[in-house]
Amino acid sequence: MSPMRKGFFVDLGFCEYEPVWRLQLRLVDLRSSSAIPDTLLLVEHDHVFTLGRRASMSDVIEARAPVFKVERGGGATYHGPGQLVGYPIMDLSGMRLDVKQYIRKLESVLVKSLRRFKIETEIKEGYPGVWIGERKVASIGIAIKNWVTFHGFALNVNTDMSYFRCIRPCGMQPETMVSVKELLGAPLRLELVKEALIKEFEAEFGLNLSPFPPDKWKTIAESVGL
């Protein structure tokens, strides 16, 4: 059995989208130069719509929140309160993973995390994300620079799903999207989901994640206005 590699995680709490986007780009450069190890960012964003490489403004039906065109794959999506967003900054070449294998591992992390709460989900070939029947509870859209990943996944936990009606999420009908709250019939504490996800992420990727060193983190965060 291979030894666990060391990595960092950062729980950003509640943050606006744009500074976290800048933060990802900064961390990608640091990871590319081996200045930091693989790092997982977890965040809850204020209301925002993002458009991936396959999306355009025609996918926005009603701009109830700011809209950003970003580097990730996929179409339009929504981020907002009650949704757990993860941005893994990881060197795929070091793990000898191709893009498809990496996405499969992200899906596996989400499937196993939800199973801890008695929610059985599945993956669908050609439709990145995590599904329960014909409804989608988690979305995945990634970008890669110098074989380092950024952007990532969004799990609808206690999300206000009405915002999905403002867009065509990944080209689908808004009603396709579902939340954990809807599936369970009650809200689920986001902190519990974070704990489950970190454990499954460590197991899936062979990582031992520890908090980012505070002094180094402060310098990085200040450099992007976070």
Letter for the amino acid at 98? D
Supply the residues annotated as catalytic. Answer: 170
Share of residues in the chain with pLDDT > 90 (%):
87
Structural contact between residues 159 and 44, judged by C-beta atoms closer than 8 angstroms: no
pTM score over 0.85:
yes
CA dist., res. 150 & res. 152, Å (int): 6
Q: Report pLDDT for 41.
A: 98
Structural contact between residues 18 and 29, judged by C-beta atoms closer than 8 angstroms: no
pLDDT range class, residue 1, cuts 50, 70, 90: low
Residue carrying the six token digits 């209301």: 47
Contacts of 17 (CB under 8 A, 6+ apart): 45, 46, 48, 50, 66, 68, 79
| Cα–Cα distances in angstroms (integers) from residue 52 to residues 77, 137, 192, in the given order | 8, 18, 29
Buried-state track 173-202, b at ≥16 Cβ within 10 A, e below 16: ebeebbbbbebeeeebebeebbebbbebbb
Contacts of 39 (CB under 8 A, 6+ apart): 7, 8, 9, 10, 27, 31, 88, 89, 90, 212
* Strands of 39-45's sheet in order across: 122-124, 127-132, 135-145, 148-156, 83-89, 39-45, 5-15, 207-211
pLDDT by residue (tens digit) across 184-218? 999 999 999 999 999 999 999 999 999 999 999 99
Phi first, then psi: give them for residue 45, nearest 5 degrees. -90, 160
CA dist., res. 131 & res. 151, Å (int): 20
- Domain ranges in the chain are 5-218
pLDDT by residue (tens digit) across 155-185? 999 999 999 999 999 888 889 999 999 999 9
Coil, strand or helix at 106: helix
- Strands, E, within 146-215: which ranges? 148-156, 207-211
Q: Spelled out in words, what is the top-level CATH class assigned to the domain 5-218?
A: alpha beta
pLDDT by residue (tens digit) across 64-101? 999 999 999 889 999 999 999 999 999 999 888 999 99
